[in-house]
């Protein structure tokens, strides 16, 4: 408002003036007045050239307000966004709510978070200088949801996509459907009274059930009752076993091993014909990369199924010695009959000659 006299001349030009007003704030430096509320105010002016008293009608602008919820219902423990849209910028917001709320940064949106289910009135008041405050009440319906998250993994760190896990869920109305679920499994339940889950004792031939945890707490095998008071995370851990197969000869250390353990294979000598022929170990075939080999021993980490072959060659030294002895005996017997006796050296030499001759003919 600018102060003017009855002729419309600004009082700042007419001279000094004394102003009295009810419901108005006077800015003497700018010679202006402002009203903090709407209605009629009385204004009295005493100037150098006269006085005047009158009634001034003060009105306020209307502040349009639109309050929008981000969803039809909220869930317990989760922030629920309410957007406040006004017809003027830079508005002030005040909230009256039985549930906690907070403003989202510098925006005109708020988040309300309820710990219990129910329906709660949230009243929002928007205000701005020069505008009538605007109010709007929104009913927020809060429901209790529970997320059930079920998964399985092996001690080798692999996620197991199982298809034969049994889940029984019971609603408050008494219905209790039982079903086999495929892992990983994640569902949100709104009306869950109870639930239980059961995992198979083995999976894929290489995994055996080790433990089950529910929200980090360990449980034994068998049907496990789950709490429905909030989100539930169920994790099954299966012990991975590694199969080490060996062919080619007698080798110790073959069979099933725990994942990550150290496997030590030792190849033993083979006696094909007692005292005559032997299998002599020569090396390995099929060892995993990084295996440590020393003589007839191989060591490696059990990080996967493996099939190893032990390589042997046949050693006939015993048979050769036996043949040599037999031939020497025969030569001695024949020579003794023809010559009436021979020396052992001659007999052994004759036997060696015959063995070499047979080997050459082969």
In the predicted model, what is the mean pLDDT of residues 118-128? 93
pLDDT at 242: 92
For position 217, which CATH number holds? Answer: 2.60.40
CA–CA separation, 186 and 59 (whole Å):
58
Q: Which two tokens stand for residue 121?
A: 């009135």
The 10 Å CB-count burial string (b at 16+, else e) for 205-214 is ebbebeebeb
Q: Token digits for 50? A: 């006269």
Confidence of residue 138 (pLDDT cuts 50, 70, 90): very high
Give the total number of structural domains in the chain. Answer: 5
Residue 192, beta-bridge partner list: 171
Same domain, 175 and 234: yes
Flag whether 86 is in a domain.
yes
User: What tens digit of pLDDT does each residue of 57-67 get?
Assistant: 777 788 899 99
The pLDDT value given to residue 360: 43
DSSP 127: E
User: Does residue 6 form part of some domain?
Assistant: no
Provide the pLDDT for residue 301.
93
Q: Say whether both 77 and 133 belong to one domain.
A: yes
Q: How confident is the model at residue 19 (pLDDT cuts 50, 70, 90)?
A: low
Instruction: Quickly state the pLDDT bin for 292 (edges 50, 70, 90).
Output: very high
CA distance 72 to 69: 7
C-alpha closest to that of 89 among 118, 64, 121, 117:
64
**Is the N-terminal amide bond of 172 cis, ω within 30° of 0?**
no
**5 within a domain of the structure (yes/no):** no
CB atoms within 10 A of CB 76: 16
Tell me what pLDDT residue 279 has.
74
Please report the pLDDT score of residue 110 as a whole number: 94
The radius of gyration of the chain's CA atoms, rounded to the nearest angstrom, is: 49
Whether residue 362 has pLDDT greater than 50: no
The residues pairing with 32 across neighbouring beta strands, listed in sequence order, are: 2, 27
Residues 160, 215 within the same domain: yes
Q: Do 309 and 353 fall within a single domain? A: no
Domain extent, residue 96, equals 62-143
Q: What is the pLDDT of residues 40-56, one digit of tens each?
A: 777 777 766 667 777 77
Secondary structure of 237-250 in the HEC alphabet? EEEEEEEEEEECCC
Same domain, 236 and 152: yes
The DSSP 8-state label assigned to residue 175 in this structure reads -
Assess whether 163 and 224 both reside in one domain: yes
For 189-247, what is each residue's pLDDT tens digit?
A: 877 778 889 999 999 888 999 999 999 888 876 788 887 767 889 999 999 999 999 99
Q: Which of 182, 205, 240 is a domain's end point?
A: 240
45 in any annotated domain = yes
At residue 131, the pLDDT reads 86
64-90 pLDDT per residue, tens = 999 999 888 888 888 999 999 999 999
């Amino acid at each position: 408002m600018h102060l003017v006299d009855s002729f419309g001349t600004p009082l700042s030009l007419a001279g000094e003036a004394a102003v009295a007003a009810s419901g108005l704030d006077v800015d003497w430096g700018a010679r202006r007045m402002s009203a903090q509320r709407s209605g009629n105010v009385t204004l009295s002016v005493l100037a150098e050239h006269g006085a005047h008293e009158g009634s001034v009608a003060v009105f306020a602008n209307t502040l349009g307000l639109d309050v929008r919820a981000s969803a039809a219902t909220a869930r317990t423990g989760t922030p629920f966004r309410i957007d406040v849209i006004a017809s003027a910028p830079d508005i002030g917001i005040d909230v009256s709510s039985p549930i906690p709320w907070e403003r989202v940064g510098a925006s005109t949106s708020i988040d309300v978070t309820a710990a219990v289910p129910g329906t709660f009135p949230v009243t929002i008041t928007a205000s701005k200088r020069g505008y009538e405050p605007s109010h709007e009440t929104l009913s927020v319906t809060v429901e209790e949801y529970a997320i059930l998250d079920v998964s399985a993994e092996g001690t080798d760190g692999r996620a197991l996509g199982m298809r034969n896990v049994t889940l029984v869920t019971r609603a408050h109305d008494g219905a209790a459907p039982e079903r086999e679920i495929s892992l990983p499994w994640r569902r949100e339940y709104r009306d869950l009274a109870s639930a239980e889950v059961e995992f198979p004792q083995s999976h894929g031939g290489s995994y055996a059930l080790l433990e089950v945890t529910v929200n980090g707490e360990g449980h034994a095998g068998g049907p496990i009752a789950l709490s429905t008071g909030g989100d539930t995370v169920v994790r099954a851990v299966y012990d991975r076993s590694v199969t080490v197969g060996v062919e080619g000869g007698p080798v110790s250390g073959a069979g099933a091993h725990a994942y990550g353990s150290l496997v030590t294979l030792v190849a033993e000598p083979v006696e094909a014909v007692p005292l005559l022929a032997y299998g002599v170990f020569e090396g390995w075939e099929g060892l995993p990369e990084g295996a440590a080999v020393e003589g007839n021993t191989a060591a490696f980490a059990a990080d996967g199924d493996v099939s190893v072959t032990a390589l042997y060659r046949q050693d006939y030294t015993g048979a050769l010695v036996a043949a040599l002895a037999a031939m020497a005996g025969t030569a001695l017997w024949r020579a003794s009959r023809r010559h009436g006796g021979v020396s052992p050296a001659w007999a052994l030499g004759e036997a060696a000659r015959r063995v070499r001759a047979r080997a050459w003919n082969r």
